Structure 1
Amino acid sequence: MNFIQKGLPLLFIICSIPQLLAQDTQKDSITRLDEVVLTQDAIPKKATGITASSKIAGQTFERFNPTDIPSAINQISGVYILSGTINTNRITIRGIGARTPYGTNKLRMYFNGIPVTNGTGSSTIEAYDFENLGAVEVIKGPKGTAFGANLGGAILLDTKASVEDRTQLINSFTIGSFNMLKDNLTFSHSEDGLDISLSYNHLETDGYRQNSQFQRDGLLLNTKFRTGQKSSMALLVNYIDYTAHIPSSINQTDFEEDPTRAPSNWLESQGYEANKYILTGLSHTYQFSEQLQNTTSIFYTYLDHYEPRPFNILDEFTNGFGLRSRFTGNWGKADFSFGGEFYNDEYHWGTFENLYEENDGNGSLQGTQLSENIEFRRQFNLFGTLTYPITTKFSAQLGLNLNKTNYDFRDLFNQGAENASAERDFDAIVLPNLGLSYQLKNGNIYANVGRGFSNPSLEETLTPGGVINPDIAQETGTNYELGTEWMLFNKKLSANMVLYRMDVKNLLVAQRVGEDQYVGRNAGETRHQGLELDLQYRGRLSRSLSFSPYLSYTLNDHSFVDFVDNDNDYSGNPLTGVPKNRLSSGIDFRHANGLRLNLTHQFVDEIPLTDANSLNSDAFNVFHAKLGFRTSLSQNISLGLNAGVNNIFDANYAQSVLINAVGFGGAQPRFYYPGNDRNYFGGVQLNYVF
């Protein structure tokens, strides 16, 4: 069944509602509508100058279960999070990152302006509590310059801002299916020259599948204080401690017959991962003059990770530290930004035998050590942008990023000829981009061309024997983009459309050669081209009832241009791991009495699971609904209630997939991570203002 027939059950509603309504043009209604628009637009844009970006904030977050950050970010066209479990997320932007076996790479992630991507380009969205986020901004493709020039782009996470001149205590408590319990307690205080927020969060759930229990505790401290008339300091501390059991992927038979199953070896070993993660950052901002400002941050990260798997036990820790300094200002008519970012981490890891088969059904048991390694990873970025208004309506922006990456791998286990120690020092790479923007009466048209890169992951730098591959090269690509943004019908309708093409060379391929062994190599070229469309309408059914239908559509026409794997020529095939069509749609209703209703829908087209395109996942539609109510109990206390249902029609769908899966020992290949069946949640929020 094609895309038009398969998806879009809500699209008819979205398109037809405005035609069924009599337009309410009363002045007070328009004023209320403008307040909603201003609330969203009040969140400062972080992307430099005329650089295009996409942003979601409070209204988008409110539509979903507070444990479901993937669904919120999937509202952004061109961005797709494949979520195997709470702790297994793979973010792809315009198809970049789709070939990563597990986790997220090929993009840069920042948390309150501090880089949180590690030395090989890996980022973990699950290290942050959804309820602490105030906004998520996405720069698609290698045009961010100040936030790296990675092929995937950049994701900028920002915490909720304290309400000015207010002291408050907020507790949000949620329960749901699979014995899910979540609590977030936040104290915030704001007065002249001081903003402070302290949050504690707890989450536990048994999960939908076998061996999918999850428990997390976290603390977040975010404070900013003025140190002088021209200067201020900010301190950020984020601590997460979680244990997540791993149900792993399953084969097609299990997916169709009983998607709750976990593979027998993962179930018997009771595979899991335990993580302790801390991020600390100290930032100083100084206003030299009206024309020049600087923000400098120093930061430290630590990750302690222990993961028993059926094939071995991984024990690792990472120490990372760095500095980022950025100057912004203007010189005559031109705006400028320049600075540098240095990041260094030390990754220690070892593997051990897993003797779970000898442990009388008690799960994993650590045995003899198999390896011990350390890798030093350094990245240095210099960046600068210059934005100049050629006329009152026409602006140009030139950006330049320079990256230098070094890996130093040391084998501490093997001696003599078997020792695999090696160093990989990549040449410095220069990454320019040029942007143009033309302002129209109700919108603008923009264009961008830029060069980007991706570093190989740890697995991609090593051969099966654990030796660094001296021939592995960085992926490079050129991105071409043409877009337009409009605000129409008295700002009731926002419409954004982008056409892009990205040509990627030296495609990095992680080829699976064992249950936990991958070989990295550069295998050819890909072409990423597509269309992204975002529509949102804000209207009123009456003086007290507003509605807002929306739609985000992504067309991915991604393919291998030149890809020969041994004797197999896959040139011309659609890119593995990327759905051709994807759509997020829905409608929000809000009443003046505090009642709100959110109906959301996601359509994902079939996904090629093998490079030969011999197998595809099934396309699917998933629907969610959430009902909320907020009221004041007194001058100081407000109450919020909500209840929701996910996967209303109980679809059996793959929320994530593993591409090019291989079956070992005659077993079927395990391609699928099932999404949850129909499930429910409900919550209460109390807000006390001192």
Structure 2
Amino acid sequence: MHLRLSVLLVLLCVKVKGQQADTASLLHTVEVKAYFTKQPVLSLPASVSVLSAGMLAEQQPFSLVPAMNSVPGMRMEERSPGSYRLSIRGSLLRSPFGIRNVKMYMDDFLLTDAGGNTYLNAIDASAASEIAILKGPEGSVYGANTGGVVLINTEAAGSETVEAAINGGSYGLLYQNASIQKKWNDVSLSVYQAYQRSDGYRENSAMNRKYIQALPQWSYSSNGSLKALLVYSDMHYETPGGLTAGQMESNPRSARPAAGPNPGAREQQAGIYNKTFLGGLMHEVTFKPSFKHVLAITGSLTDFRNPFITNYEVREERTAGLRTYFQYTGTAVPLTWQLGYEGQRTLSDISNYDNNGGIRGNTQSADQLNANQQFVFSRLSIQASSRLLLEAAASINFNGYKYGAIDAARSALNDKAFDAQVMPRIAASYKLSEELAVRASTSRGFSSPTIAEVRASDQVINTELQPESGWNYEAGLRMSLANNRLYWDAVVFRYDLKNAIVRRVNEDDAEYFVNAGGTNQSGLESQLLYWLVPPRKQGFLRSTQLRNSYTYSDFSFDNYQSGSEDYTGNRLTGIPKHVLVSSVNLGFAKQYSLFLQHNYTSDITLNDASSVYAEKYHLLQAKASRKFTTAGGLGISFYIGADNLLDETYSLGNDLNAFGNRYFNPAARRNFFAGLSVEL
């Protein structure tokens, strides 16, 4: 019966009525800054989805998970508060925790380090004003990756505001944020601060994060500007560990108990401590209307500690990166051409100690690894006719790392360099009419092993681990009808990945990684938006927007053998075959609103042998809001919401190929939140 809601919303979406839009409130064309400049999505020859400020505001203010999971082709998991995993088109296979194989940028600055890791959980959810997701290999412009690219925009609107909000909820949730935006002639400053804590649904799953962000900008002339980004995050979250199916059924709120010689998660005070500082400076200058140069420098420092069941890991990471490009915009011939370079270096000192109940003990091992990645790229986009848009891009990538004992001189470290990789991309979009466009593209993805995979928790530096690479082919269409009331984006793709990197866990409960033969990934993604009632200024019902996304993933292993086991043809681990997400946003008189979202996720295979599955689940969430402005001009918003209204027992973040059948991390049952925000 839960599927009926999704099916009903789909039927409503495709039934376009002849209702006239309120001419005082036109629906805007969707644009995205995917390739350095804003472009209309309709004719963009790439698979891209945009989470606008409005879409993000509909959701829980303290978590990106429900919003990210509404994007077709994307899966975001949270094993416990703050413990994120994220994948695009199957890249979850490589991520026992954290985010790998997906390149991420924040306001044009590098968020992913040279070692291939991204600390997305260090960023506060409400700090993002817009998120663009490019699906499939986009390495031609954004460097080595086979999953995709996430572009996070934190820049707020240009008006001067002061805002503050506080939110409370189930399981000890407290979330508070405040921001100020100020402008002085050609200088502007945006400062954002947030604090979040939670006791967590399970034992040993509490979290605490303090966050501050500053974005100063200076337009020193009509042609030039400087922008800086400063971020500091201090985060600690406990990790309860995986449970067996029997343990989850008996007590889903328990932490991982002791097993054999290993104590439990609670006894070892298992968790993550992460202090990260990120800073960046960008200069942009325009030489005449047709020529522009951009230079962005990014640096970060991370103090990372991880008391775990079998050891206590300490990492000190220092990253420096540079991204620069020239852009030419033709006038006689409508074209855009970019030529650029990006380079990064991450120095990691990684030490492991005995974990004596959360206290660091004797040294087990100590290594240093220096990751390097750099590439040059070029991209040409030509408007060949009023209907035809052609794109060609390529990059040459150089990746490698150095390794050795932590007390060795860095000049004496062993060197591991991967062969230079050429990553081309060719794409085209053709407008059949002003409301319908078709597109096709082919591109090559490449991703070298991350530092967390080269030196996994088994503390062995695996120099035999090779990069994965593959070709992606896709074709799609976009439709925008009736003054943008109806928008539909659909794509089919085929991705053949070689040397896929997969996770293994040994008998000591330590993980390591190996290359599988490859994967065959065929899929379909569909995203539909329809204004059943366009925004208007009269009546009880002021607006109704329906949205639906569907993902079909026919992913399997190809030529994959492990010892005497042959996994060829098995489903790709960790990826559901079907995901259907439907939502409705109702706007009422006096600025009341109601948002409902339903997520159906089919069963998920949890090991490469396809012998254990997580059951399918239905999630229903709701958020009701009321906004008003006082006589003194103070904007106030109240909201109350609920997650998992159907009270499902499910695992949002499974431990793949887990030793001892500890696959499951139970998510919170039915829970609630409420909040208040004020704007001056």
> What TM-score do you get using the length of structure 1 for normalisation?
0.92
How far the C-alpha of 1:443 sits from its partner, in A, is 2.1
Contact 1:373 1:409 survives alignment (8 Å): yes
Q: Which amino acid aligns with 2:351?
A: G
How far apart are the structure 1 equivalents of 2:64 and 2:559? 36
How far apart are the structure 2 equivalents of 1:203 and 1:579? 31
- Correspondent of 2:519 among 526, 534, 550: 526
Q: State the partner residue of 1:366.
A: 360
How far the C-alpha of 1:179 sits from its partner, in A, is 1.3
Q: Which amino acid aligns with 1:316?
A: R
Contact 1:249 1:672 survives alignment (8 Å): yes
How far the C-alpha of 1:144 sits from its partner, in A, is 5.5
Q: Which amino acid aligns with 2:55?
A: T
1:181-239: CA deviation from partner (whole Å, max 9, x where unpaired): 11111010135422210011111111111011111111100121112231100010011
- Give the secondary-structure state (helix, strand or coil) at the position aligned to 1:440: strand
Structure 1 residue 629 corresponds to structure 2 residue 639: no
> What TM-score do you get using the length of structure 2 for normalisation?
0.93
Structure 1 residue 74 corresponds to structure 2 residue 75: no
Mark the CA change 1:395 to 1:17 in structure 2 (over 3 Å): closer, same or farther. Answer: closer
Q: State the partner residue of 1:10.
A: 6
How far apart are the structure 2 equivalents of 1:681 and 1:590? 20
1:583-612: CA deviation from partner (whole Å, max 9, x where unpaired): 111100012421110000111110011111
Q: State the partner residue of 1:561.
A: 558
How far the C-alpha of 1:299 sits from its partner, in A, is 1.4
Q: Which amino acid aligns with 1:64?
A: Q
Contact 2:196 2:208 survives alignment (8 Å): yes
- Correspondent of 1:95 among 62, 74, 90: 90
Contact 2:32 2:50 survives alignment (8 Å): no
Contact 1:379 1:406 survives alignment (8 Å): yes
- Give the secondary-structure state (helix, strand or coil) at the position aligned to 1:460: helix
Q: State the partner residue of 1:329.
A: 328
How far apart are the structure 2 equivalents of 1:44 and 1:578? 29
Mark the CA change 1:99 to 1:468 in structure 2 (over 3 Å): closer, same or farther. Answer: closer
1:553-599: CA deviation from partner (whole Å, max 9, x where unpaired): 00000011210111111111111111000011110001242111000
Q: State the partner residue of 2:650.
A: 653
Q: Which amino acid aligns with 1:153?
A: G
Following superposition of structure 1 onto structure 2, how do residues 106-505 of structure 1 map, counting pairs within 5 Å? Answer: 106-143=101-138, 145-163=140-158, 166-264=159-257, 265-331=264-330, 332-356=333-357, 364-412=358-406, 422-441=414-433, 442-462=435-455, 466=459, 468-505=461-498
1:430-469: CA deviation from partner (whole Å, max 9, x where unpaired): 1001001101221211100001111112353359975544
How far the C-alpha of 1:625 sits from its partner, in A, is 0.5
> Which runs of 5 or more structure 1 residues have no equivalent in the other structure?
357-363, 664-668
Contact 1:531 1:554 survives alignment (8 Å): yes
- Give the secondary-structure state (helix, strand or coil) at the position aligned to 1:658: coil
Structure 1 residue 576 corresponds to structure 2 residue 570: no
How far the C-alpha of 1:483 sits from its partner, in A, is 0.8
Contact 1:476 1:505 survives alignment (8 Å): yes
How far the C-alpha of 1:176 sits from its partner, in A, is 0.6
- Give the secondary-structure state (helix, strand or coil) at the position aligned to 1:97: helix
How far the C-alpha of 1:626 sits from its partner, in A, is 0.3
How far apart are the structure 2 equivalents of 1:101 and 1:445? 37
Mark the CA change 1:686 to 1:133 in structure 2 (over 3 Å): closer, same or farther. Answer: same
Contact 2:81 2:198 survives alignment (8 Å): no
How far apart are the structure 1 equivalents of 2:657 and 2:298? 38
Contact 2:13 2:547 survives alignment (8 Å): no
How far apart are the structure 2 equivalents of 1:533 and 1:279? 35
Q: State the partner residue of 2:610.
A: 613
How far the C-alpha of 1:514 sits from its partner, in A, is 4.1
- Give the secondary-structure state (helix, strand or coil) at the position aligned to 1:145: helix
Mark the CA change 1:563 to 1:431 in structure 2 (over 3 Å): closer, same or farther. Answer: same
> Which runs of 5 or more structure 2 residues have no equivalent in the other structure?
258-263
Q: Which amino acid aligns with 1:513?
A: N
Contact 1:14 1:587 survives alignment (8 Å): no
1:288-311: CA deviation from partner (whole Å, max 9, x where unpaired): 111111110111101001121121
1:604-654: CA deviation from partner (whole Å, max 9, x where unpaired): 110011111111110000000100011111353111110001111111111
More displaced stretch, 45-54 vs 90-99: 45-54
More displaced stretch, 250-259 vs 523-532: 250-259
Identity across matched positions, percent: 25
Contact 1:403 1:429 survives alignment (8 Å): yes
Q: State the partner residue of 1:671.
A: 663
Mark the CA change 1:313 to 1:466 in structure 2 (over 3 Å): closer, same or farther. Answer: closer
How far apart are the structure 1 equivalents of 2:415 and 2:4? 52
How far the C-alpha of 1:489 sits from its partner, in A, is 3.0
Contact 2:481 2:487 survives alignment (8 Å): yes
Contact 1:561 1:571 survives alignment (8 Å): yes
How far the C-alpha of 1:526 sits from its partner, in A, is 0.6
How far apart are the structure 1 equivalents of 2:512 and 2:379? 37
Mark the CA change 1:128 to 1:412 in structure 2 (over 3 Å): closer, same or farther. Answer: closer
Q: State the partner residue of 1:666.
A: none
How far the C-alpha of 1:64 sits from its partner, in A, is 1.8
How far apart are the structure 2 equivalents of 1:463 and 1:602? 34
- Give the secondary-structure state (helix, strand or coil) at the position aligned to 1:9: helix
